[in-house]
């Protein structure tokens, strides 16, 4: 409940791209070989090397569908997309993987942005190291490439630039790109540790093989959800491991940056952000909308700096490396489908559908919960002002206790139980997403609420004191005479029905529509106000000595109900004027 309330005050949402903003339905769009021939399948040994690089250097798997075909991803979606590409080419990834004798594997890391696997495969008598990862990093660690005839030749600066331009072109289309490289290793070592593989890659002698472009379409519900966040005063920042061009294109598609926005600082890389001192990083954190090539520490630093600047930060994550940011965030949201157990443990809320739209819904629910609490407090304190005022001032005016102990217990039941149920069960209001986030440090009773409590409570108090004095002078209110019991019954019923009508006004706190509108959606509220009204009538008519009441006539009930109803009608007029003023502006 604390997390639900806190997310309602969120001012910034730092969201992952994959899964949360995109559909996580990875599919290979194209393959660019090192010779820059797009979608042209290499032949012979080159084809074998390519298939081996995808099948052996992978931690994902494919599961059979209803027809027995390997089409269901199991593991990393990006790697699964590459395996499905191998299957589509009828190369059989399982056979290739099983024939590759692995001597060591370096798992993917968000810090390194690449992985590697070494072993014996196509070349039976020499070790081959396959590397896969961020294309610009793999390219920077490559010194050679494959020629059209399969020869290993130097990677010239000109060719390196051409590959970089081809990469940029794909990334600007919003594609996730993944580079491949390999090298043969002169060694007879029985096995290789992760440090051994890192050292081999760090020699920068890889042979660049090409890169894949992988499409992951944006979830259709995300752009409207981002727009709703903007209207609600919440900034959405995308934090992704993808390169800057891809991240920028996805950011444009979902609406967190404008296509023609060339402002500096809107999109930064994780390395650029980490290189800044605290003061500059704080300004960058406020200004940026996209952080690409983000590492775990960069994401955590972003969250911490935003919090220092007074923001209430919600963070999404699905991997173990997201745990620090999830833990430091005001509200951490883990993915229920793709999230790791570590991420779920570190988070406060788990999204069962992994969708960004669910985050926006959680914000709306959080705001609605807080608003419903305020409605209850408004209603209860208004009654308290009246009840305490009557009980306190009554004896000074020579009036016996206006409400008996049993009657006061019924009033407390209305305040504490029925009102809490009625107002807490109000359905969530999307209209709250048109307002700015509340200040989490602000007192729950706002100045507007305080004004309402003391104004309405004060008016009720004056009315009751005048009524009590009139009844005292004309027909003394006491339990010793029939007329006194009759006056007490009128006084008691008038007190309750004033609060009955005031419950409708409390329901509309912060809203300017009619209190009678949408009652069909608030079934619990409608049921409870009916119970209060019928319960008051039955209690008065049949309460007898227990409640110190006597039956009232139909005419008296009609007068009480009609004379107390202006509480609602005045509220309706006030809301109508506020609504008209907003429309005029």
Count CB-CB contacts under 10 A for residue 555. Answer: 8
Q: Which residues are catalytic?
A: 16
Own/partner contacts of 278-284, CB < 8 Å, gap of 24 or more, are 278/305, 281/305, 282/308, 282/309
Q: How confident is the model at residue 342 (pLDDT cuts 50, 70, 90)?
A: very high
Answer whether residue 493 shows pLDDT above 60: yes
Residue with token string 């559909």: 23
Q: For 521-537, what is the mean pLDDT?
A: 89
Q: Could you tell me which of 379, 331, 328 has the C-alpha nearest to residue 1?
A: 331
**What is the rounded CA–CA span in Å between residue 43 and residue 123?**
16
CA distances from 2 to 252, 330, 417, 449 (A): 33, 10, 22, 23
Answer whether residue 344 shows pLDDT above 90: yes
Q: How confident is the model at residue 92 (pLDDT cuts 50, 70, 90)?
A: confident
CA distances from 549 to 488, 489, 534 (A): 7, 5, 15
Instruction: Say which residue, 280 or 70, is predicted with more confidence.
Output: 280
Answer whether residue 557 shows pLDDT above 70: yes
Domain boundaries, the chain: 2-21+218-354, 27-215, 365-584
Q: For 78-104, what is the mean pLDDT?
A: 90
Q: Could you tell me which of 58, 31, 34 has the C-alpha nearest to residue 208?
A: 34
Answer whether residue 477 shows pLDDT above 60: no
What CATH number does domain 27-215 carry, 2.40.170.20, 3.40.1110.10, 3.40.50.1370, 2.60.40.350? 3.40.1110.10
Confidence (pLDDT) at 431 = 86
Range of lowest pLDDT (98-112, 239-253, 322-336, 571-585): 571-585
Percent of the chain with pLDDT over 70: 95
3-state secondary structure of 42: coil
pLDDT per position as a tens digit, 126-140: 899 999 999 999 999
Answer whether residue 349 shows pLDDT above 90: yes
Cα–chain center distance at 305: 20
Answer whether residue 287 shows pLDDT above 90: yes
Q: Could you tell me which of 172, 177, 181 has the C-alpha nearest to residue 203?
A: 181
Confidence (pLDDT) at 401 = 60
Confidence (pLDDT) at 398 = 66
**What is the rounded CA–CA span in Å between residue 209 and residue 187?**
22
Token output for 425: 């069960």
Confidence (pLDDT) at 407 = 83
Give the Cα-Cα-Cα angle 410, 411, 412 (nearest 5 degrees). Answer: 90
CATH 1.10.40.30 is right for the domain spanning 365-584: no
pLDDT per position as a tens digit, 10-29: 999 999 887 788 887 788 88
Answer whether residue 201 shows pLDDT above 90: yes
Residue with token string 């760090």: 202
pLDDT per position as a tens digit, 376-414: 999 988 888 888 887 787 777 666 666 778 888 888 887
Confidence (pLDDT) at 111 = 83
Range of lowest pLDDT (108-112, 298-302, 448-452, 550-554): 108-112
CATH 3.40.50.300 is right for the domain spanning 2-21+218-354: no
Cα end-to-end span (Å), the chain: 37
Answer whether residue 452 shows pLDDT above 80: yes
Residue 76's φ and ψ, nearest 5 degrees, are -60, 125
């Amino acid at each position: 409940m604390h997390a639900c309330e806190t997310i309602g005050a969120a001012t910034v949402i730092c969201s992952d791209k994959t899964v949360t903003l995109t559909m996580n339905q990875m599919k290979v769009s194209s393959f660019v070989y090192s010779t820059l021939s797009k979608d042209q399948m290499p032949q012979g040994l080159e084809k074998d090397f390519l298939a081996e690089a995808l099948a052996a250097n992978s931690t994902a798997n494919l599961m059979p569908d209803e027809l027995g075909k390997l089409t269901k991803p199991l593991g990393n979606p990006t790697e699964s997309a590459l395996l499905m590409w191998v299957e589509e080419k009828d190369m059989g990834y399982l056979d290739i993987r099983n024939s590759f004798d692995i001597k060591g594997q370096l798992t993917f890391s968000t810090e390194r942005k690449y992985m590697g696997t070494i072993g014996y495969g196509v070349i039976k008598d020499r070790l081959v190291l396959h590397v896969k990862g961020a294309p610009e990093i793999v390219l920077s660690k490559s010194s050679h490439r494959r020629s059209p005839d399969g020869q290993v030749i130097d990677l010239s600066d000109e060719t390196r630039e051409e590959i970089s331009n081809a990469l940029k072109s794909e990334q600007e289309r919003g594609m996730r790109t993944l580079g491949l490289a390999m090298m043969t290793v002169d060694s007879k070592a029985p096995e290789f540790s992760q440090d051994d593989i890192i050292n081999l890659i760090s020699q920068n002698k890889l042979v660049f093989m090409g890169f894949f472009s992988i499409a992951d379409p944006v979830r259709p519900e995300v752009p409207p959800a981002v727009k709703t966040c903007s209207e609600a005063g919440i900034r959405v920042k995308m934090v992704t491991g993808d390169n800057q061009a891809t991240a920028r294109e996805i950011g444009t598609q979902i609406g967190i940056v404008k296509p023609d926005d060339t402002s500096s600082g809107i999109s930064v890389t994780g390395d650029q952000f980490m290189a800044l001192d605290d003061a500059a990083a704080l300004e960058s954190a406020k200004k940026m909308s996209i952080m690409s090539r983000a590492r775990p520490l960069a994401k955590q630093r972003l969250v911490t700096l935003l919090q220092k600047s007074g923001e209430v930060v919600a963070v999404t994550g699905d991997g173990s490396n997201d745990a620090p940011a999830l833990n430091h965030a005001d509200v951490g949201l883990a993915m229920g489908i793709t999230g790791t157990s570590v991420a779920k443990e570190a988070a406060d809320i788990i999204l069962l559908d992994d969708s960004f739209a669910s985050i926006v819904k959680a914000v709306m629910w959080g705001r609605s919960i807080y608003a419903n609490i305020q409605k209850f407090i408004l209603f209860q304190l208004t009654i308290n002002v009246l009840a305490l005022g009557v009980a306190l001032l009554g004896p000074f005016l020579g009036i016996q206790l206006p409400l008996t102990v049993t009657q006061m217990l019924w009033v407390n039941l209305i305040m504490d139980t029925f009102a809490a149920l009625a107002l807490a069960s109000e359905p969530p209001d999307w209209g709250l997403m048109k307002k700015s986030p509340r200040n989490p440090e602000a007192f729950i009773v706002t100045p507007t609420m305080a004004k309402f409590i003391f104004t309405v409570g004060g008016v009720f108090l004056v009315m009751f004191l005048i009524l009590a004095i009139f009844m005292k002078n004309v027909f003394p209110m006491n339990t010793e005479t029939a007329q006194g019991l009759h006056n007490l019954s009128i006084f008691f019923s008038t007190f309750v029905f004033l609060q009955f009508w005031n419950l409708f006004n409390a329901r509309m706190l912060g809203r300017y529509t009619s209190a009678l509108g949408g009652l069909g959606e608030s079934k619990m509220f409608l049921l409870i106000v009916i119970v209060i009204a019928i319960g008051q009538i039955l209690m008065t008519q049949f309460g007898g000595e227990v409640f110190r009441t006597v039956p009232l006539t139909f005419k008296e009930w009609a007068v009480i109900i009609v004379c107390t109803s202006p509480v609602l009608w005045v509220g309706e007029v006030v809301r109508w004027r506020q609504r008209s003023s907003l429309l005029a502006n």
